Structure 1
Amino acid sequence: MTEKSSSLISFVKEKNMLWEKCKEIESDIVEMRRELHQIPELGFYLPKTRAYVIRKLEEIGVPYILSEKDSSIVATMKCARPGKTLAFRADMDALPIQEETGLSFASLHNSCMHACGHDAHTAMLLAALQILYPHKEELSGEIRFLFQTAEELAKGAAILIEEGALKGVDAIFGMHIGSILDKSIPSGTMACIPGAVMASYDRFILEVKGNGCHASTPEKGVDPINIAAHIILALQTINAREIAGTDAAVLTMGLIRGGELYNAIPSTVHIEGTTRALKEEVRQKLAKRIGEVAKCTAEAFGGSVDYTMDWGAPPLINDKEMTEFAKDAIQDIFKEEIVLYRESPSMIGEDFSLYLQKIPGAFLFLSSANPKKGTDKPHHHAKFDVDEDVLWKGSASFVAIAEKFLGR
């Protein structure tokens, strides 16, 4: 065997093992996840998280730009030759929850917790970048790594889009860890779902107005508590009688606040709720009818209502071609464990849907539900945790998609 052929065999072997390098740095991924888990932050302003990500990007040596509107970051990896542009996204924000996991690396911030896996998402994407960047000479095109804020508010993706993060991008991929689809899916399994994957999620606010008075003389006022009760019951008929049984839709009221004394009728009652839908037309109908039903009901009892719809994110619809592409790219990693999951999508929402309205892409799901490790708690639970043994698979999936998309 000549020196040249030996070198070629060595190169081919190295070339075929790039995603496997994520397994080699598994302990680094776990460490990053734990460090991020200790510093959860809410919404748009994530100073500690941003500083952490910046430090890691500078260690890798990749150039990045900072948003002027929030704490989001876009790192750019330009490859050796011209080609397509690929984007990956990780969300970084946490939730206003007091952690009850008892972990040695539990949140250091009171009433704030990574209870949705965003610490893992950020760590997995940083690790993928760490593996890919030294091999940029072997790839064509460009990769943008989007580190996003405010996913829990359904507002962060819109900021990155407005600032041009998707300009020139051909496809985008994201990932969610946990048991978001079904906790019976074994930990370490990837779910690739074409079409409708997650629901729209919006928040509505009803300020019911009456006329306060003493409880002993209700005829002298207009009772907003009574009005609110009728509105709540009436709104449930929208799903029951106005939405087709074949169209998934949810209308839930989770907050009601009114009154201060047992013997006094207040002047206002505050109601907040959420709607979910898998079709945009159903989403819009829910919003329209909430306002109409609430207004007419309030007027029937002599009151009024101020209605506000706080628009969140549209339904998340995966591009079929990109979903199949992702499945094929990560087949070598998951082998027989790969799942092309075709059951009912989740009614949970995700503002990754805003990216998919602009360009093709797919949002994937990595199960970390392991009852033996106690990592099968639902998202947004005070004891939520992830199976850290699967983190490297998330990073490896990003790397495998990049290799296939950019022609390594």
Structure 2
Amino acid sequence: MNMWKECKSLQEELVKTRRELHQIPEFGFDLPKTQAYVIRILEELEIPYKCSSKDSGIIAEIKGEKPGKTVALRADMDALKIQEENDVDYKSIHDGFMHACGHDTHITMLLGAAKILNQHKEDLQGTVKLLFQTAEELAKGSQVMIEEGGMDNVDAVFGQHIGSIMNKDIPSGKVIIVPGCCMASYDRFSIKVNGHGCHGSTPEKGIDPVNIASHIVIALQEIIAREVSAVKPAVITIGMIHGGVAYNAIPSIVEIEGTIRALEEPVRQHLAKRIKEISEQTAKTFGGAAEVEIDWGAPPVTNDNEMVELATNAAKEVVGETNVVTEIPAPNMGGEDFAYYLQKAPGAFFFLSSSNPEKHTDIPHHNPHFNVDEDVLYKGSAMFVKIVEDYLK
């Protein structure tokens, strides 16, 4: 059918859509402006949809004229709590929030694909589900989408991520698709260290949670150094430590937060188990106590080999064989809650590079200066359309 080729004609429209979405970033599960924007376009296209009863997620459906399989395409919609520092006329109008991970483009590219697919629904043999998901940054939105029926009767699922997330040296416009595990699990942990506050001049009268927290931070790194095989990638990172109100006072509480990443579920479970044990026992050693919470995020993203082959062949058509990367030195240690969809149906998660130093779009994700090379937007839409063509043919 080659309907994917029509996506190029949408490029100017896609840029406009992306910039409008970029200005209204919202965080977490409640994305009222973003939801309203997507609904408006779906209604203009006369694509039926239903809204989640639990968050701002949207499930839309394009039914082909002929019966067949059902394929799901996913876009995440949430932004980050980051103050944008880009000097552009489409800068975020929501103070303290920014689309610093490209989710505005994910929505845009899926809406573009939806427009073309809907125009050709009489040629489709099967159904296309469009999943507009919240709270990917919290690793929770895909689970809500699944609870709301997003993956009911789905035979295959596909998603993509824009930017320089895999490697900033991969030029803009290239598509990266790899079999097996392509992204790590990601979970958050918090440790509340309880001591007993006192004056800084008489530390013997209290129990110092700052000292305990310091020992815990150092001890946790020994899990990676001495308990996990060197050939099994794993990460424990402390991102936040809070405690104290005065330079000369020992506080009663210090709070620690961090993240764990792993490529294998047994390693993931071991990290969580040992963080709890080491924190509690270290605190006890110094006379304090530690309360540990593991906020489970998402498991590793593991692609289905058959769906990877299908997506790879689609990419070779859309961007050309020389612009398709099928091998990387190691999986990315970033995480994605798309992993939960892959537990429900075979599928593939792939990456569209927008890294272009000349346009300053090679800046890392989650950075206040993050931006994308908008010239690739139609390629993302075309990838979705071509995958649907090939899967439902």
> Which bin holds the TM-score, normalised by the shorter protein?
over 0.9
Q: State the alpha-carbon separation in 2 of the partners of residues 232 and 374 from structure 1.
A: 35
Q: Measure, in 2, the Cα distance between the counterparts of 1:341 and 1:106.
A: 35
Task: Give 1:232-243 correspondences, 5 Å limit.
Answer: 232-243=217-228
Query: Which of 100, 107, 129 lines up with 1:115 in the alignment?
Result: 100
- TM-score, L = length of structure 2: 0.99
Give 1:43's aligned amino acid.
G
Q: How far apart, in 2, do the equivalents of 1:100 and 1:69 lie?
A: 33
Q: State the Cα distance separating 1:122 from its structure 2 match.
A: 0.2
Q: Which residue of 1 aligns with 2:358?
A: 372
Corresponding residue for 1:153?
A: 138
Residues 183-262 of structure 1 correspond to what in structure 2 (within 5 A)?
183-262=168-247
Task: Give yes or no for the alignment of 1:323 onto 2:314.
Answer: no
1:272 aligns with 2:272: no
Distance in 2 of aligned mates of 1:228 and 1:113: 32
Q: Which amino acid aligns with 2:98?
A: M
Match of 1:127 among 104, 112, 128: 112
Are residues 1:405 and 2:391 paired?
A: yes
Q: What is the match of residue 6 of structure 1?
A: none
Within 2, Cα distance between the matches of 1:67 and 1:350?
21
1:247 is displaced (CA, Å) by 0.5
Kindly, what percent of the aligned residue pairs are identical?
Answer: 59
Q: Give RMSD over aligned pairs.
A: 0.7
State the SS of the aligned residue for 1:256: strand
1:339 positional shift:
1.4
**Which of 37, 41, 51 is 2:26 aligned to?**
41
Aligned counterpart, 2:344: 358
Give, in whole Å, the separation in 1 of the partners of 2:233 and 2:84.
Answer: 32
1:33-57 deviation digits (Å, cap 9, x = unpaired):
0110011111000000000000000
Pairing 1:21-170 to 2, within 5 Å after superposition: 21-170=6-155
Measure the CA separation in 2 of the matches of 1:226 and 1:340: 48
Could you tell me how far 1:321 is from its partner in structure 2? 1.0
Measured against aligned partners, the alpha-carbon deviations of 1:141-161 in whole angstroms (never above 9, x if no partner) come to 100000000000001000011
- Partner SS, residue 25 of structure 1: helix
Matched residue, 1:9: none
Letter in 1 for 2:391: F
Matched, 1:395 2:386: no
Stretches (4+) displaced over 6 A: none
Letter in 2 for 1:349: G
Aligned equivalents of 1:375, 1:108: Cα separation in 2: 21
Distance in 2, matches of 1:78 and 1:333, equals 24
Aligned to 1:285: 270
Structure 1 residue 338, shift from structure 2 partner? 1.4
Distance 2:217 2:325 in 1: 40
Q: Distance in 2 between matches of 1:197 and 1:31?
A: 31
**CA distance, structure 1, for counterparts of residue 11 and residue 91 of structure 2:** 20
- Cα distance, 1:281 vs. partner? 0.6
Paired with 2:215 and 2:319, the residues of 1 have a C-alpha distance of: 52
What is the deviation of 1:262?
A: 1.2
SS in 2 for 1:233: helix
Amino acid in the other structure paired with 2:92: S
CA distance in 1, matches of 2:258, 2:66: 50
User: Does the residue aligned with 1:198 lie in a helix, a strand or coil?
Assistant: strand
Name structure 2 gaps, 5 residues minimum.
none
Distance in 1 of aligned mates of 2:16 and 2:189: 39
Number of the residue aligned with 1:334: 319
Distance (Å, rounded) in 2 between the aligned partners of 1:224 and 1:331: 57
Deviation at 1:330, TM superposition (A): 2.5
**Structure 2 residue corresponding to 1:346, chosen from 332, 337, 345:** 332
* 3-state SS of 2:4 partner: coil
Q: Give the C-alpha shift of residue 324 in structure 1.
A: 0.9
Which of 140, 157, 161 is 1:176 aligned to?
A: 161
- Return 5+ residue gaps in structure 1 as ranges: 1-14
1:342 CA drift (Å): 3.2
What letter corresponds to residue 209 of structure 2 in structure 1? Answer: P
Q: What amino acid is aligned across from residue 366 of structure 1 in structure 2?
A: L
The amino acid of 1:374's aligned partner reads: H
Q: Distance in 2 between matches of 1:357 and 1:402?
A: 20
Question: Which deviates more, 219-228 or 364-373?
Answer: 219-228
Deviations 1:303-352 (A, max 9, x none): 11111001111111111111111011221111121111232111011100
Q: Give the Cα–Cα distance (whole angstroms) in 1 for the partners of residues 279 and 90 of structure 2.
A: 46
- The Cα of 1:25 is off from its aligned counterpart by 1.1
Partner Cα separation in structure 1 for residue 344 and residue 323 of structure 2: 31
1:81 shift after superposition: 1.1
Q: CA deviation at 1:390?
A: 0.5
Q: CA deviation at 1:90?
A: 0.2
2: CA distance, partners of 1:94 / 1:226 = 36
Q: Which residue of 2 aligns with 1:309?
A: 294
- CA deviations over 1:385-405 (Å, ceiling 9, x no partner): 000000000000000001111
Displacement after TM superposition at 1:240 (Å): 0.3
Partner of 2:372: 386
The structure with the largest alpha-carbon Rg is 1
Q: TM-score, normalised by structure 1?
A: 0.95
